[in-house]
Chain A
Amino acid sequence: MDTAHEEWDELVGAALLGTGRRRGGSPEALLDAAAVRTVRRRAGLRPAEAAPRPEPAAHDPRPEPPDAARRRLAQLLAGRTAAGGSGGRRGAAPDLTELLPQWLAAAGRHGYRAPAALVPALLDAARARTDLRPPALALAGARGLWLARLNPDWRFALRGGTGDTGGRPDAADREAVENLWEEGLFAERVALLGTVRAHEPAAAIRLLTTTWATERAEDRLMFLDSLRVGLSPADEEFLESALGDRSRNVRATAAELLSALTGSALAGRMAERALACVGPEGVEPPADCDAGMLRDGVVRRPPAGRGERAWWLGQLVEAAPLSCWRGRFGGLTPAEIVALPVAEGWAEELHAAWCRAAVRQRDPAWSKALLGSASAPPAAGPGTASLAERAKLLSILPDGERAEWVAEFVRAHGLSEAFQLLGVCVVPWAGTLGRAVVDALDTAREAGSYPWSFSGVMGLAERCLDPTEAGRLEALTAASQDPPDASPGAAAYWAEAFQRLVATLRVRAAMLAELTPPG
C-alpha cells in the first residue's frame, strides 16, 4: 500500500473515532487534509487494469432487416411487457403482443438476423415465453449465443433447440461427446443426446447404453422421454430392454414408445391380445392381466371407479397397431369399422382407446373416422365428445382437412366450444375457416351478447386471421343499433372489438410488407 493510501486511511480512521479522542488533530485540519486528498485523488485517477476481453462473437453473415421492420421489432419488443394484463375492456387499439411471434417467423423465413441492439430484448422476450424461443434464438444467431454465455439469465439459449450447437461439441467428435456425457450437467446431457441423435440415431443409443445402468430412475425416464423425437425402428431393441427396467415409470414409457412403433414386437404382441378381445362377433375383455401383459406395460390396477377388465381392454387396444383391425373386420375401412354397432357398454371404452391409438400412431385415416362429421352434435360423434381429445385427433389431420373440419364445426355449432379446436389449426387460417369464424362472430353480435364472452376467439382471430380478411371485416366495424333483446351497449362494444381486430390485421399486413426479402 502506498503512502497516499495510508494517509487517507488514517484520515478516515480519525474521522470515525473523532478528533476529540486524539491528541493534536482539530476537525478543521482533518477536513482540510481530506479535501486536498479527495480532489487530488480524483484529479489524478489512472485507468484500471483491463480484465480479459471476451472472445469476439462469431460473424453472422445474414443481413439485418430493413429499417422499417427493425423499428417494428423494437416497438413489438417494447410493447411486450406493457400491453398484457391490463384487464377489462381493451378498446379499439390493435393488440401488438400477438404479432411478435409472426414477425420472428417471417424474418426467419427471409433469412434475416436480429439487429444487434435488439438482441438483449429479444432474449428477454424468449426467456419469458418459451414458445418464442426457437424463432427468437434462430434470429439472434451467433450474437445471441455469445451474449447468453455472458449472462446467466439467458443460459436457456445455450440449451439447444435451435439447431445450433451453442458451445456443445460436434456430434462427430467422439471424445468430446463422451467427455460431456460423463461429466456434463443433466440439461447439457439431454441436449447432447438430442444433437448426437440428430446426427446418427444409433450413436445416441450407444451413448445412452454406456451409462444406462448407473443413471438415476428419474434421469432414465427423462432420457427415454427424449427419444420421442425421431423415434424409429432402430430404437426398438433398446426400448425392449427397458421393458425390464426396475422403475415402473420407465417400463411404462418404454412400452408406450414401442406401441407407437407399429412394426415393433411389442405392438405385435398387443395386437394379438387385442384381436382376441375385439372382433365382428363382439367384445370380450381380457379375463386376467398376466405377466406378459404386465411386462408390456399394462397397468394392472384401474383408477378408482373403473372396472378392471375394461381398464385392461382399453390399454390393449390403445397399444395395438390400428392396421390390425382391417383384417379382423373383413376388410372394412376405418370409418366403416368405427360406424359398426358395438355391444352394449363397450362402445365408449373401445372408441376412446382407438382415439388414443390414432393420436399415438399419428394415423390420419383413423383420426378422421373417429372425429366423424363436424356438423353432427359432439355427443353423437363416433370417437369422443371431449374437445381436448378431438383437438388431439384434429392435430393428426393434414392442414387443409383440419381447417375444413373446424370451419364446418363452427358453422354448425357456433364459437362457444370451438376455442380448443381453433387452437390446433395452422396460422394464418385458411379462407373457409376464417370466414366461418367471422360469420359466427357476426351471428353472436346479432344475438346481442357481449363481445367479451368471445374474447378468447377474438384474441385467436387477431393472431390467426389472414390479413386479407381485413377488408371483409370493415363492414362489421360500424356501430349499429342494439337489437331489442340485446344486452345494453353491446353493439358499440362489438363495433369496438371489430375495429381492434381490423386494426390488428392491418398492422399485421403492414408488418409483413415491411419485412420484404433481402434484395
Chain B
Amino acid sequence: MTEQEVRWTAEQVLALAPDDVSRKAGGKLGGSGPWSQIGGSASGSLWGLCEGSGSRPYRTVVDLTGPAYKCSCPSRKFPCKHALGLLLVWAAEGVGDPAPAPDWAREWLTGRAEKTARPSAGQAGPVDEEGARRRAERRAARVGAGVVELERRLTDLLHGGLAGQEQAGYAGWEETAARMVDAQAPGLAARVRELGTIPGCGPGWPARMLEEFALLHLLNKAWLGVSGLPEQLAATTRNRVGVPVSAEGEVVRDRWLVLAQYDSVSPDGRLTTRRIWLRGQESGRPALVLDFGPPGRPPGLALPIGLVWEAEARFRPGSAGLRVDLGERLSAATPGTGAPAGIGTAAALEAYGTALRVDPWLESWPVVLGPVVPIPGEAGWQLADSEGTSALPVPLSGSGSGSRTGLWQLAALSGGGPVTVFGEVGHRGFTPLTAWQPGSAEPIPLV
C-alpha cells in the first residue's frame, strides 16, 4: 500500500458493520487464522480468501475508496462479515507491499474503476417537460387540498379547546395523518402523527401541543403562499411538506470528516433512519447524509467516525442547507487529525437561531462545542462553557439520542475537565453525539 494508505483503526472498521451480529462475526474473522492470499494494491484495494464452512474459501474484495465490497459468500449483509474481517486484519497488521490483484479480484476492481470514471448516466432521453409540469401541478393541487383540510382541523380543535386531547388518544391523529398521506404530503403526515403522542408526555403538554400546532399552521400558510416566498424558504417549505424538490443543488468539493453516525427507528418500527454528520475540512460546512433501511434491515450506507474522504457533496435545496447527497469518493479515507475547533454555548444557540431564519421548523443544528465541562445532575445534565456561567441543558428523552450510557461516557472522558463535543443544539438543549479527549485525536462516539 502507498503512503496515502494510513490504515484505519479497528473501531473505524467496525463502524461499517450493518448491525451488532455482523460486528461480532467480523471481529472473529479479524485474525490471520482463517485467511490466505491476503493482499492489497497501491490504489487502495484489499483482497483475501477466507476459510468458511464450505469446501471453497470465500473470495473477499474491498475497495477502500468507496468503501465498496464484494464477496462470494451468500450473506445479504453489506459489508459481510468476511469484508469486515479482512478490513480488521488490514487495520491490525497491514497486508504487506502493494501487489497486483489476483484474477478473481481484478475483474470486479476493474469494473468499479471504469464505472467511477464514466460520467453518471443521467438525463437519458428527451425530457417530457410539459408532462412533468402537469404532474407537478396536479400534485400541488392535492397537497393544497390536504393543507386546507389540516388547517381546518387545527382551527376547529382550537375553537373547542385542547383540554379534551388528553383523553382523545392517537386514533384521530392517525386518521388525519392518513389523509395527509393520501394528499401526497408525507412531511405533514409525519408531523401530524407526532401530535398524537404529545398529550401523553406529561405536564407541560398543552404548551408543546400549541407549539406544534403553531409550526404546522406556519407550514400550511407557507405552502399556501409558496409562490411569493424567497427561493430558499420556498424550497424549505416544499421539503417540509414532503414534496420532492427538483432543482439542482450546490456542489461542494471538500475533504469531509465524519463526525457522527446514528440510527433512529420510526415509532411504528418500520423504518430505520441513519444520520451521518459530516464537516468540510476546508469549507467548515456541516452536512447531513441520510440513509434509510426497510423493515428488519439496517441502512446500507456506513461511514466510520473520524475518517476523512475527499468527495463532492451535492447540497439539496431547502432543509437549512444541511442535507447532502455524497458523490463518488475521490480518495481513500484517512484518519482525521484531531478534534475540530469548538465554539461556546452562546455561539451554538446563535448558530441555531440563525439557521431558523431559513428554516423555522428546524429542530436542531449541528455544532462542535468546546471547551465545555459536562455537569451530571439528578434533575438533568448540562454542558457548561469551561469559563463563565453559561451552560446548555442536555435533553434526556429525545429521538433515540442523548442516551444515559453516552452521557456517562462523556462524563468519564472529561473527569470534570474540559472536552470538545460534537452534537445537535436545538430548542430543547444540546444532544452530545461524539467527544474528543483533550490531547487525543480519536473521536469517541457517544450514541
B161, A15: Cβ atoms closer than 8 Å: yes
Measured CB to CB, the nearest residue on chain A to B444 is: A117
A-side contacts of B373, CB under 8 Å: 53-54
| A56 at interface, CB cutoff 8 A | yes
Interface residues on A, range: 35 or more
Check A120–B412 contact: CB distance below 8 A.
yes
Collect the chain B residues with CB atoms within 8 Å of residue A46's CB. 346, 349
**Known A-B contacts A47-B392, A82-B20; A31 and B213 likewise in contact (beta carbons under 8 Å):** yes
Q: How far is the CB of B64 from chain A (nearest CB, A)?
A: 20
B42 within 8 Å of A (CB atoms):
no
- Binary A-proximity of B10-32 (CB < 8 A = 1, otherwise 0): 11000000001000100110010
- Asked whether, in the complex, the Cβ of B375 is within 8 Å of the Cβ of A51, the reply is yes
Interface centre among B156, B345, B353, B373 (most CB of A within 10 A): B353
List the B side residues contacting A37 at CB < 8 Å: 214
What residues on B are CB-neighbors of A118 within 8 Å? 412
CB of A487 closer than 8 Å to a CB of B: no
Inter-subunit contact B408/A45 (CB<8 Å): no
- Cβ B416 vs Cβ A53 within 8 A: yes
C-alpha gap A278/B349 in the complex (Å): 87
The answer to the question of A79 belonging to the interface, with a C-beta cut-off of 8 Å to chain B, is yes
B159 to chain A, nearest CB (A): 4
Question: What CA separation (Å) do A64 and B154 show in the bound complex?
Answer: 59
Task: List B contacts of A17 (CB < 8 A).
Answer: 161, 163
A56 B416 Cβ-Cβ under 8 A: yes
Contact with B along A1-41 (1 / 0, CB 8 A): 00000001001100111111100001110111011011101
On chain A, the residues within 8 Å of B426 by CB distance are 42
Identity of the chain A residue whose Cβ is nearest the Cβ of B378 in the assembled complex: A152
B contact residues around A55 at 8 Å (CB): 416
Q: Are B160 and A18 in contact (CB under 8 A)?
A: yes
| From B9, B11, B353, contact of A42 by CB (8 A) | B353
User: Is residue B411 within 8 Å, beta carbon to beta carbon, of the partner chain?
Assistant: yes
Task: State in angstroms the CA–CA spacing of A151 and B207 once bound together.
Answer: 32
List, in ascending order, chain B residues with CB within 8 A of A50's CB: 375, 382, 384-385, 388-391
A93 interfacial by beta-carbon distance below 8 Å: yes
Q: Contact: A120 with B217, CB < 8 Å?
A: no
Kindly provide the distance from the CB of A141 to the nearest chain B CB, expressed in whole angstroms. 11
Q: A11-B210, A31-B154 are in contact. Are A45 and B412 (CB under 8 A)?
A: no
Asked if A34 meets B213 with Cβ closer than 8 Å, knowing A43-B357, A47-B392, A146-B415, the reply is: yes
Task: Tell me which residues across on chain A come within 8 A of B409, comparing CB atoms.
Answer: 117, 120
Q: Quick one: given A17-B163, A34-B211, A146-B415, are A43 and B356 in contact (CB under 8 Å)?
A: yes
Closest residue of chain A to B429 (Cβ to Cβ) is: A48
Give chain B nearest CB distance to A448 CB in angstroms: 25
Binds B, one of A67-75, A99-107, A363-371: A67-75
Query: How many angstroms between the C-alpha atoms of A26 and B156 in the bound complex?
Result: 10
For A71, give the chain B residue with the smallest CB separation. B10
Is B352 an interface residue when CB atoms closer than 8 A count as contact? Answer: yes
At the interface, yes or no: B413 with Cβ under 8 Å from chain A? yes
Complex partner residue of B215 from A16, A35, A53, A510, CB under 8 angstroms: A35
Q: Name the interface residues of B411-435: CB closer than 8 Å to any CB of A.
A: 411-413, 415-417, 426-427
Count how many chain B residues have C-beta atoms less than 8 Å from C-beta atoms of the other chain: 64
Instruction: Say yes or no: B161 contacts A48, CB within 8 Å.
Output: no
Closest to A114 in B: B412
**0/1 string, B192-220, CB within 8 A of A gives 1:** 00000000000000110111011101100
Do B207 and A8 have beta carbons less than 8 Å apart?
A: yes
Q: Is B92 an interface residue (CB 8 A)?
A: yes
- A147 interface residue per 8 A CB criterion: yes
CB of B6 within 8 A of chain A?
no
A147–B412 touching, CB < 8 Å: yes
Q: B376 and A12: CB pair below 8 A?
A: no
**B55 on the A face (CB < 8 A):** no
In the complex, the answer to whether B27 meets A51 with C-beta atoms within 8 Å is no
Q: Does A44 contact B (CB under 8 A)?
A: yes
Q: How far is B390's CA from A339's CA once the two chains are assembled, in angstroms? A: 81
| Given A16-B161, A28-B155, A150-B376: A54 touches B416 (CB 8 Å cut-off) | yes
Distance of B195 from chain A, by nearest CB (Å): 13
B207 touching A12, Cβ below 8 Å: yes
Instruction: Report the minimal beta-carbon distance from A95 to chain B, rounded to whole angstroms.
Output: 12
Give A45 to B425 CA distance when docked, in angstroms: 11
CA separation between A21 and B391, bound complex, in Å? 42
* Cα-based distance from A56 to B418 in the complex (angstroms): 10
Question: Which residues of chain B come closer than 8 Å to A150, judged between CB atoms?
Answer: 376, 411
Q: Which listed residue (A11, A27, A57, A68) contacts B416, Cβ 8 A?
A: A57
Smallest CB gap from B345: residue in A:
A47
A119 at the interface (CB under 8 A from B): yes
Smallest CB gap from B380: residue in A = A51
| Assembly CA distance A266 to B437 (angstroms) | 60
| Chain A residues in 8 Å Cβ range of B393 | 48
Contact A20 to B349, CB < 8 A, known contacts A50-B390, A151-B408: no
- Which residues of the partner chain A approach B375 to less than 8 Å between Cβ atoms? 50-54
**A116 contact from B211, B221, B413, Cβ within 8 A:** B413
A508 at the interface (CB under 8 A from B): no
- Residues of B contacting A49 in the complex (Cβ-Cβ under 8 angstroms): 389-391
CB distance B20 to A38 under 8 Å?
Answer: no
Query: Chain B 346-369 against A: per-residue CB contact (8 Å), 1 yes, 0 no?
Result: 100100110011001000000000
Which residues of the other chain, A, contact B215 by a CB distance below 8 angstroms? 35, 38-39
Is A147 in contact with B155, judged by CB distance below 8 angstroms? no
Residue numbers in A under 8 Å from B346 (CB-CB): 46-47
Distance of A47 Cα from B369 Cα, bound (Å)? 13
Is B405's CB within 8 Å of the partner chain A?
Answer: yes
Asked whether, in the complex, the Cβ of B159 is within 8 Å of the Cβ of A20, the reply is yes
Contact assessment for A34 and B27 in the assembled complex, using a CB-CB cutoff below 8 Å: no
B99 within 8 A of A: no
The 0/1 profile, CB within 8 Å of A marked 1, for residues 151-178 of chain B is: 0001110111111000000000000000
Q: Is B119 an interface residue, CB under 8 A from the partner?
A: no
Do A82 and B206 form a contact, CB below 8 Å, given A47-B392, A50-B390, A143-B412?
Answer: no
B377 at the A/B interface (Cβ < 8 Å)? yes
Q: Do B415 and A39 touch (CB < 8 A)?
A: no
A45 touches B376 (CB 8 A): no
Contact (Cβ within 8 A) A35 B218:
yes
Compute how far the CA of A52 lies from the CA of B415 in the bound complex, rounded to whole angstroms: 15
Interface positions of B from 131 to 157, Cβ below 8 Å from A: 154-156
Chain A proximity of B26: nearest CB distance (Å): 11
Contact A47 B427 (CB under 8 A): no
Of residues 315 through 333 on chain B, the ones whose CB sits less than 8 Å from some CB of chain A are: none
Contact pick for A35, options B159, B214, B389, CB 8 Å: B214
Q: Mark A137-158, 1 if CB is under 8 A from B, else 0.
A: 0000001001100110000000
Query: A17 CA to B206 CA in the complex, in Å?
Result: 11
**CB proximity of B168 to chain A, nearest CB, Å:** 13
**A39-B218 in contact (CB<8A):** yes
Residues of the B chain whose Cβ atoms lie less than 8 Å from the Cβ of A44: 353
What's the minimum C-beta distance from B285 to chain A, rounded to whole angstroms?
Answer: 21
A41, B427: Cβ atoms closer than 8 Å: yes
- 8 new A-B contacts, CB < 8 A, other than A31-B213, A75-B27, A120-B408, are A12-B206, A27-B158, A39-B218, A39-B356, A41-B427, A52-B375, A53-B416, A54-B375
A-binding residues in B (CB < 8 A): 9-11, 20, 24, 27-28, 31, 33, 92, 154-156, 158-163, 206-207, 209-211, 213-215, 217-218, 221, 345-346, 349, 352-353, 356-357, 360, 373, 375-377, 382, 384-385, 388-393, 405, 408-409, 411-413, 415-417, 426-427, 437, 444
5 closest A-B pairs by CB: A18-B161, A56-B416, A47-B390, A34-B214, A27-B155
A-B contact pairs, 23 of them (CB 8 A): A15-B161, A17-B161, A18-B162, A19-B159, A27-B158, A30-B158, A31-B214, A34-B211, A34-B214, A34-B217, A38-B215, A39-B360, A47-B392, A48-B393, A50-B382, A50-B388, A56-B417, A71-B10, A116-B415, A117-B409, A143-B412, A143-B415, A506-B33
Q: Which A residues contact B (CB, under 8 angstroms)?
A: 8, 11-12, 15-21, 26-28, 30-32, 34-35, 37-39, 41-57, 67-68, 71, 74-75, 79, 82, 93-94, 116-120, 143, 146-147, 150-151, 506, 510
